[in-house]
Structure 1
Amino acid sequence: MMRSFFIFLFTFVLFGQYTRCGAQEIITPNERQLKWQEAELGAIFHYDLHVFDGKKYNQARNRLVPVPDIQIFNPSQLDVEQWVLSAKAMGAKFALITATHETGFALFPSQYNPYNVSQLNFKEGKADLVKDFVDACRKHGIKPGVYLGIRWNSFFGVHDFVVDGTGEFQLGRQQYYNKMVEGMVQEICTNYGELFEIWFDGGASSPAKGAPDVLPIVKKLQPNCLFYHNDELAEARWGGSESGTVGYPNWSTFTFHYTGSGESAPAAIAANHYQLLKQGDREGKYFMPAMADAPLRGAQGRHEWFWEPGDEHTIYPLQDLLNMYYKSVGRNATLILGITPDTSGLVPKGDFDRLKAFGDAVNKRFSTPLARTHGTEKIIHITLPKIQHVNQLVIQEDIKYGHRVLSFVVEAKIGSGWKVIDQGTAIGNKYMKLLAEPVHAKSFRLRLVETKATPFIKDFSIYDVN
């Protein structure tokens, strides 16, 4: 009974935030969601035992078959700080490390999970990649986060949170696994300082379904950390694909306070190829911003979250990464790129260089607008000193006040009249548009056609980019 009250109260605190404007409720983010959405760009580093087996990654096999010899984990030049520098080079504001993935092997010394780095010959069992990662993040101004895979564990025989077996034998092993996971979550939340996000792979299910009870641990020990996610709560949502993009319009509000995962997702979420995840719900009662994720090595018909030999050709070209950026960050989502160190323990040079080129290109395109302004009026003007070539727009609402703009047009004064050069619905944290047809004009205006209440436009910018 007390736990049910806790979940009810916590859900109300998280998602009961709204401003009533006339007859309309405006759903607003909590502080964790606001900081996560404003961060806009992050990285996740995938590293596990099978990086070292010399084979192509096989998810189905890795979920079922334990790695025969954990001593293959033996990076010759491990430098976790170099990983973080690759994220910094691309402009990431936060980064996560896969502390555990589908093998169940932990990249940190755990008192609860015996299957961890302390059992390695590598560094005489004294490695702690999570500590090295978190320390490097803080050193370089990146907000650290941790990814925990608890849904699958080939070493313990766990499939979709359920331990193999039947009867009392299975029940005992399930109880052991649940306590082990809860202990690991407590270690992660206690031993590494404040975290920006905890990401449970495929969600974390819920104790009502017999799974580990992780939500109260995270909320007690990491109150400032974004929780992603379980069947009781999602403070962010997966954007419906691993393409690094979301649909448009993309609203930060959602129909449900959780999303489920795969076959556990509510039918309304799974319908039409996860369209609800890709676009959100304009009238949704819960604030739940979208995450767009993709592996850096996802080109040429490949989709690689973990390093594999001979896959250098699958690194996304720069133009593809920029396209992702416009269709994720530029559509009110947070983009997270997957980066994978190799057997040496380094992010390969080709990957690092592409990430830096991406960061440089984004900085070049968005650091110097021709003009920018802000305001709370229904029409906001920009007037240039002279007629100029304009081909890019950026609009931002102050999202801490929620979605207030429901539709808008951008116009340029051509001759004696105003011409519509772009139009849309959702703005949210950021709307970016590279115009198909550049405009030559001196006067521009943002006209907010439909709003819920007084709009808070914190940025209306125009650019001339190559």
Structure 2
Amino acid sequence: MTYKLVNFSAFLSIFLLFSCAEKQEVAAPEAVGPVPTEEQLAWYDMEMNAFIHFTTNTFTDKEWGYGDESPSIFNPTELDVNQWMNTLEKAGFKGVILTAKHHDGFALFPSEFTEHDIANSPYKEGKGDIVKEVAESARAHDLKFGIYLSPWDRNRADYGQDSYVTYYRNQLKEVFENYGPVFEMWFDGANGGDGFYGGADEERKIDKTVYYHWPETLAMVEEIEPNVLFFSDAGPDLRWVGNEEGIGGETNWNTITPDTLYAGQAGITELLKTGSEDGTEWIPAEVNTSIRPGWFYHKAEDSLVRDAENLFQLYFTSVGRGSTLLLNIPPDRRGLFHENDVEALLGFRKILDSVFAVNLAEKASISADSFRGNSASYNAENAIDADPETYFATDDATTTATLEIELKKEEALHYIVLQEYIKLGQRVEKFKVSAWENNAWKEIAQGTTIGHKRILELKGINTTKIKVKITAAKASPLLSNIGLY
């Protein structure tokens, strides 16, 4: 009996030792560099937002109004913001940014601080408020609402003086206090030039780096709307991508150093497009373009609307390069999205739904050459489990990785989707994708950055296996999703 008891005790000790070892948690990777805020993370998941340019320019056939337009010309006879929002909802957009005031200074809301507004137009006999209509309809269609209130105003007699900055802030207060919540405040670099300016008809130049007192102005807005994202050429939350063609950088770092973004800098547009691997702030690029050649409606452009296939390609050069797409759709003089625009948008949605209907990786098997601490919390299966909060990771000292996905049967693959776990920073610098063909691996795609989402074409290759190889990273790579379509 003594002999058996001694051996049982030894067995129990060994069992407990191994049990404790199995339960010992492997430490999660530490964040590397700047990381996104909760608001920025939600912005990525929106993927596609709509821009709406609509003002007196719609009726004068101009892109930039001079500021001398009479409010009496603004008279949409069939305006229906629900038609706008119905279309956007069906097309899969998640937010809408309305141009509440463009450079001409005409306000689409009744403003206490100017006569150059919708209250002095024939629309609804001066009782209309399009900002209110859009904000309410957007929320009814589960779309987030944002605004663009142009800092430049070619109508104001005091533009260039301190009193105008007070006026601009007063209108920002009106918009944010009366129509919130507002998810994004959009403003651009068009500041100063020729204009009406209350009858002066002259050119005015301002130093846009100091004139608006941006730190104080944005702090005022943030006090009203703490969760707002500020977009401008240099952020502070979202940056311009450097072009208006809808093309994000194939190399696209979400980080950038803001004080490197100044007017006249050589290579500034390329820097905005690619970001900086060693940037000090997380300021992702927003990819903006219009469904038409212009930003406002022009009848002459009815035949020049981007078609569904073109919009699908824009998705790849924006969302598919780790950014979001901000697509402008301008209402016509009736106050409706034109039939050609609507047809293109809904056709675009059909293509997206068809292409990404079935993720073949979800029912595949996957393996990796190594994973963090040999812990199931970080193994390769986390990259195909459809859970964005789990991820594959390597040990801290390992900055390369190879993952192989084996399908149930041979499939024709057209696209691969890769996503990093960016809550802990952006890491991947270079990667390759190979397919198993004729009993050998054949490289079929490669790239640099991944970020929130990277989509690459695989051109319909028939295969049973795909290999993703991270060949360089600034720290241990973290992949939250691999999709095959």
1:397 to 420, 425, 436: 420
Per-residue deviation at 1:58? 4.5
Partner of 1:49: 56
Question: Deviation digits for residues 60-99 of structure 1, max 9, x if unmatched?
Answer: xx2x4511x2111111111112112222232111111000
Deviates more, 1:336-345 or 1:120-129: 120-129
Question: Deviation digits for residues 161-207 of structure 1, max 9, x if unmatched?
Answer: x53xxxxxxxxxx2321111101111111111211101013278999
1:290 to 285, 293, 307: 285
Q: Which secondary structure state, in structure 2, belongs to the residue aligned with residue 242 of structure 1?
A: coil
2:473 to 444, 451, 464: 451
Distance 2:182 2:260 in 1: 21
Per-residue deviation at 1:449? 1.9
Partner of 1:276: 271
Deviates more, 1:443-452 or 1:135-144: 443-452
Per-residue deviation at 1:113? 3.1
Note if contact 1:229-1:258 (Cα within 8 Å) is conserved in structure 2: no
Distance 2:63 2:147 in 1: 23
- Residue 316 in 1 paired to residue 311 in 2? no
Long gaps (5+) in structure 1:
1-19, 164-173, 298-302
Distance 2:39 2:355 in 1: 28
- Residue 356 in 1 paired to residue 356 in 2? no
Q: Which secondary structure state, in structure 1, belongs to the residue aligned with residue 156 of structure 2?
A: coil
- Specify whether residues 352 and 244 from structure 1 end up closer, same or farther in structure 2 by C-alpha distance, changes over 3 A only: same
Per-residue deviation at 1:317? 2.1
1:413 to 424, 433, 436: 436
Partner of 2:151: 150
5 Å-filtered alignment, 1:416-427, equals 416-427=439-450
Distance 1:65 1:203 in 2: 14
Q: Which secondary structure state, in structure 2, belongs to the residue aligned with residue 305 of structure 1?
A: coil
Per-residue deviation at 1:135? 0.8
Distance 2:97 2:128 in 1: 18
Q: Which secondary structure state, in structure 2, belongs to the residue aligned with residue 310 of structure 1?
A: helix
Partner of 2:219: 216
**Partner amino acid, structure 2, of 1:360:** K
Partner of 1:8: none
**Partner amino acid, structure 2, of 1:250:** N
1:439 to 441, 451, 461: 461
TM-score, normalised to structure 2, is: 0.79
Partner of 2:167: 180
Distance 2:340 2:334 in 1: 14
Distance 2:441 2:49 in 1: 39
- Specify whether residues 58 and 330 from structure 1 end up closer, same or farther in structure 2 by C-alpha distance, changes over 3 A only: closer
Distance 2:346 2:167 in 1: 39
- Specify whether residues 65 and 219 from structure 1 end up closer, same or farther in structure 2 by C-alpha distance, changes over 3 A only: closer
- Residue 200 in 1 paired to residue 184 in 2? no
Distance 1:218 1:397 in 2: 32
Question: Deviation digits for residues 318-375 of structure 1, max 9, x if unmatched?
Answer: 2221221111111111111111101111111111111111122112112322224154
Partner of 2:365: none
Partner of 2:380: none
- Specify whether residues 72 and 207 from structure 1 end up closer, same or farther in structure 2 by C-alpha distance, changes over 3 A only: closer
Q: Which secondary structure state, in structure 1, belongs to the residue aligned with residue 258 of structure 2?
A: coil
Note if contact 1:148-1:201 (Cα within 8 Å) is conserved in structure 2: no
- Specify whether residues 392 and 25 from structure 1 end up closer, same or farther in structure 2 by C-alpha distance, changes over 3 A only: closer
Distance 1:294 1:208 in 2: 25
TM-score, normalised to structure 1, is: 0.82
Partner of 1:10: none
Note if contact 1:99-1:146 (Cα within 8 Å) is conserved in structure 2: yes
Q: Which secondary structure state, in structure 1, belongs to the residue aligned with residue 246 of structure 2?
A: coil
Distance 1:288 1:203 in 2: 21
Partner of 1:345: 335
Q: Which secondary structure state, in structure 1, belongs to the residue aligned with residue 247 of structure 2?
A: coil
Per-residue deviation at 1:247? 2.2
Aligned-residue Cα RMSD (Å) equals: 2.3
- Specify whether residues 215 and 334 from structure 1 end up closer, same or farther in structure 2 by C-alpha distance, changes over 3 A only: same
Per-residue deviation at 1:41? 0.9
Note if contact 2:32-2:426 (Cα within 8 Å) is conserved in structure 1: no
- Residue 376 in 1 paired to residue 398 in 2? no
Per-residue deviation at 1:257? 5.6
Distance 2:268 2:278 in 1: 20
Note if contact 1:230-1:258 (Cα within 8 Å) is conserved in structure 2: no
Q: Which secondary structure state, in structure 1, belongs to the residue aligned with residue 115 of structure 2?
A: coil
Q: Which secondary structure state, in structure 1, belongs to the residue aligned with residue 318 of structure 2?
A: coil
Distance 2:414 2:209 in 1: 53
Size of the alignment, in residue pairs? 409
Per-residue deviation at 1:282? 1.4
Partner of 1:235: 237
Q: Which secondary structure state, in structure 1, belongs to the residue aligned with residue 300 of structure 2?
A: coil
**Partner amino acid, structure 2, of 1:197:** E
- Residue 123 in 1 paired to residue 124 in 2? yes
Note if contact 1:390-1:438 (Cα within 8 Å) is conserved in structure 2: yes
Distance 2:255 2:91 in 1: 28
Q: Which secondary structure state, in structure 1, belongs to the residue aligned with residue 403 of structure 2?
A: strand
Distance 1:208 1:424 in 2: 36
Q: Which secondary structure state, in structure 2, belongs to the residue aligned with residue 78 of structure 1?
A: coil
Partner of 1:12: none
Distance 2:118 2:67 in 1: 19
Note if contact 2:32-2:475 (Cα within 8 Å) is conserved in structure 1: no
